[in-house]
Chains A and B, each alone.
Chain A
Amino acid sequence: MRHLKLIPDDTKIPFSRWRYVAVGLSLVVMVAAVVLLVTRGLNFGIDFKGGILVEIATDGPADIGRIRSDLGGLGLGEVQIQEFGQADDVLIRVASPQGDDAEKASQAVVEKIKGALGDGVEYRRVEVVGPQVSGELVEDGVLAVLVSVALMLLYIWFRFEWQFSLGAVVALVHDVLATIALFCLLQIEFNLQSIAALLTIVGYSMNDTVIVFDRVRENLRKYKKMDLAELIDLSVNQTLSRTVMTSGTTLLALLALFVFGGEVIRGFVFAMIFGIFIGTYSSIFIAGPVLLAVGVSRDATNGGLGGVSKEKAPGKA
């Protein structure tokens, strides 16, 4: 029986040759990310901005225009009304009231909305986040991403050498920035789930990079004279089949979630799907070139402080 092979055996793709193009492209993306973040900004959800979110289901297709006029007269300030996945599902977002007692005022807004919409609709979801909590959530979110990148840096340093650590972290920062750029560009709502998606992307991207680096380390021991660019290419090619297979299975699972998992987590899943691509790209085109640029000291390639590979290093060349 012949098995499905997405990648033929013994590929010899000269990835290193494209590194200037890839790094250039990524630099453009990273600069664009920063520019977009400043100019366009993230579309913060109520988790980070504070505010009120009400999801309602109506009997039959919703009359958005009527809901808008019903709520328009309440003096709630900025109100966003949109269809949510289905014609009878409507999402209403109201900005957090200003002032000292915003928490109490927010509760009053919910009561007003419920009063205006009446009992004819089903309240599927009501979320109220006061300014105090949303401020903390922003801090926690930023901190979580930073701490996670820092821990990855330490872990790779511990298991490999600092050059590897640097390559991996540059790739991580790249992935995080590119994902943020996507959020800015498409104005996808950025909320707590997005932070979860970012951290998952960080984990996945790291996962991919580590597999390549593991092989680089192994090959460094095996081919002591090989040119580093050639060696990195060889390692990427050797692991390419695995990279594509794993991305494939993960993408299959994520696609199922994207299509069938419901509207609530669609943005979250979308970000992760993007992350799988960007994470795979960066471990080949960013992590490798950084490693190539900083070089590796070849006499100490037994790895960092970690032990597993070192002990089991095979004797065969």
Chain B
Amino acid sequence: MLHFDRWKIVLIYILCVAGLVYTAPNFVPKSKLQDVPAWLPHQQINLGLDLRGGSYMLLGLETDALVRERLQGLVNEVRGALRDVSVPYTGLGIKDGSVVVRITAPADAEKARDAIDGLSSIVAGNQFSTLPERDLLITADGPQISIVLSDAAKRARVQSAVQQSIEIVRRRIDELGTTEPVIQQQGIDRILVQVPGLDDPSQLKALLGKTAKMNFRLVSNAMSGQQALASRTVPAGTELLYTSDQLKTPVLVERRIMVGGDRLVDAQPGFDQRNGLPVVNFRFDATGARQFGEVTRDSVGRPFAIVLDNEVISAPVIREPIMGGQGQISGNFTVQEANNLAILLRSGALPVAITVLEERTVGPGLGADSIRAGEIAAIIGSVAVVAFMIASYGFFGILANIALILNIAMVFAVLSVLQATLTLPGIAGIVLTIGMAVDANVLIYERIREEVAAGKGPIPAIESGYNRALSSILDANITTLISAAILFQMGSGPVRGFAVTLGIGIVTSVFTAFTVNRYMVSVWLRRRRPKALVL
């Protein structure tokens, strides 16, 4: 136990030096970090949002709407398919999450089924099988045909909506000019957003709260919005929308879309040259410009509606054909609203609505206080433990303390290298590790005391002290490691930070408190060759 192979000694030195070297950047102020030579490590510990301040949000996608939308689309496709093969039918619609249709003549059933089969396409399978699956499951019961979306199809739709949403959320957040935002998928239909340094996320939430589906449509000239509201019916091909301002004026607009929002290539906030009010200037791509030009040419004198998320932002009258593909939206905006709208239009529409399921925002003041409190607690805790160990074990206590300090350095080094996140509970984890790390040394030393009391000489006593304590040390640490692993699995944010530091601390403490400490004791034994142990 006290003999070390040369390669082991070298390894111990390498690990200890590496621990110190990789910890060092954390003690260099950020501003001085570029002066550190390039061959030395530069990575500092990544502070969690609870320490550096910032905003954490868990966004939920309203995926039910995706399936509903798809079924709605499917109804139209079925209608088209049956028309193409001239099969008469009744009762086409959505019932309990499936599209149902009844074929009038039983003889047509086969033909209808084939036509509907043709609508089906192939989607990728789930993560457990690479086999492609069909997106529609079609069952026929006599003249009754029902179509449901396969699970693979639902999954694929949700997954693509999540991917698309992440991209759009990222664009919207980037517009806020924040640094290093983290935007990632969480679970099946959620997005995790972490924006360091953002202490007031209300603008961000205002941006994320809009799907920003925008389009340009003509205002119907069949009747006015008020008339439509009074008559409680709307003419075919139109729908009744309301303005987005306080007045909520009804506007009857055509269902047909002149130009879709996806044709926008740019949108910038600006000011109206005539009255100085905030507006949004936009530009269409070539196709959009042509479509817009054609409609405005044919409808001079009529008002058109700019519709955002089914609300009419404004409904200006077309005075002349707009051919250049450029325009201006005015709608009694504040400067902030115009700015937000421009961001929304530039970043594109979300495929589904998003809700903030969970939000945790920490201001810079609390973060700084927490760091300071954590530092003080860690220093005082360490000093107390160090003093206690020296009082209890004297010289051996000092050796244990050297191991303890190396352990703390290694925890910081591992955190820096892995770029794991240090949170306030994480600091608590480190402090707890400080208390528990010396446990291995306590076990060993107590054991050595016992062996000495049983009449053994220094070297055999130390030998068997390390030997016999090892099994207890491993058992004790593995059980704690199990708790840490489970915490890491289930925890989120700060709590996960606790699991990280606790877990790292356990692993490094076995190395420092057992191996490094044993090496130091063996060196001491060889130099001093003590006749009796004072422990």
B439 adjacent to A199 (CB under 8 Å): no
For the complex, is A190 an interface residue (Cβ under 8 Å from B)? no
Q: Is the CB of A192 within 8 A of B495?
A: yes
B471 and A312 form a contact (CB under 8 A): yes
Across the two chains, which residue of chain A brings its CB closest to B387?
A252
The reply to whether A148 and B358 form a contact with Cβ atoms under 8 Å apart is: no
Is A80 among interface residues, defined by CB-CB distance under 8 A? no
The B interface, classified by DSSP as helix, strand, loop or mixed, is helix
Residues of A228-251 contacting chain B, CB below 8 A: 238-239, 241-242, 245-246, 248-251
- Count residues of chain B with CB under 8 A from any CB of chain A: 84
A269 interface neighbour in B58, B428, B475, Cβ under 8 Å:
B428
How many residues on A have C-beta within 8 angstroms of the other chain's C-beta atoms?
82
Interface of A, secondary structure class, is helix
- For B502, the closest partner residue in chain A by CB is A200
Chain B hits for A70, CB < 8 A: none
Interfacial chain B residues near A111, Cβ < 8 Å: 202
The residues in B between 454 and 491 inclusive whose CB is less than 8 angstroms from any CB of A are: 464, 467-468, 470-472, 474-484, 486-487, 489-491
Assess whether B156 is interfacial by the CB under 8 Å rule.
Answer: no
**A257 near B431: Cβ-Cβ < 8 Å:** yes
* A37 is an interface residue with CB less than 8 A from chain B: no
Given A123-B199, A245-B392, A265-B425, CB of A312 within 8 Å of CB of B487: no
Which B residues are CB-close (under 8 A) to A262?
A: 369-370, 373-374, 377, 424
A18 in contact (CB, < 8 A):
no
- Report B-chain residues with C-beta under 8 Å of the C-beta of A260: 373, 376-377, 380
Contact A9 B374 (CB under 8 A): no
Contact between B360 and A126, CB atoms less than 8 A apart? yes
Instruction: Kindly identify which residue among B209, B355, B389 contacts A249, using a CB–CB cutoff of 8 Å.
Output: B389
B490 touches A141 (CB 8 A): yes
Which one, B263-271, B315-323, B445-453, is touching chain A? Answer: B445-453
Q: Do the beta carbons of B377 and A257 come within 8 Å of each other?
A: yes
Contacting A246 at CB < 8 Å: which of B50, B356, B438? B438
User: B534 interface residue, CB < 8 Å from A?
Assistant: yes
A147/B385 in contact, CB under 8 A = no
CB-based nearest B residue for A52: B359
Q: Assuming A107-B205, A257-B428, A262-B370, is B476 touching A124 (CB within 8 A)?
A: no
Q: Collect the chain A residues with CB atoms within 8 Å of residue B470's CB.
A: 308, 312
| Cα–Cα, bound, A259→B381 (Å) | 10
Cβ-based interface call for B152 (8 A): no
Q: Which residue of B lies closest to A309 (CB)?
A: B471
> What are the residues of chain B within 8 A of A57 when measuring CB–CB?
365
B215-266, CB < 8 A from A: none
Decide yes or no whether B124 CB sits under 8 A from chain A: no
* Residues of chain B contacted by A199 (CB below 8 angstroms): 483-484, 486-487
- Chain B interfacial positions (CB closer than 8 Å to A): 50, 58, 60, 199-200, 202, 205, 209, 355-363, 365-366, 369-370, 373-374, 376-378, 380-382, 384-385, 388-389, 391-394, 424-425, 427-428, 431-432, 434-436, 438-439, 442-443, 446, 449-450, 453, 464, 467-468, 470-472, 474-484, 486-487, 489-492, 494-495, 498-499, 502, 534-535
The 8 closest A-B pairs by CB, nearest first: A253-B435, A203-B483, A250-B435, A262-B373, A256-B381, A203-B480, A124-B366, A206-B479
What are 7 A-B pairs with beta-carbon distances under 8 A?
Answer: A125-B366, A152-B479, A199-B486, A200-B502, A215-B472, A242-B442, A249-B436
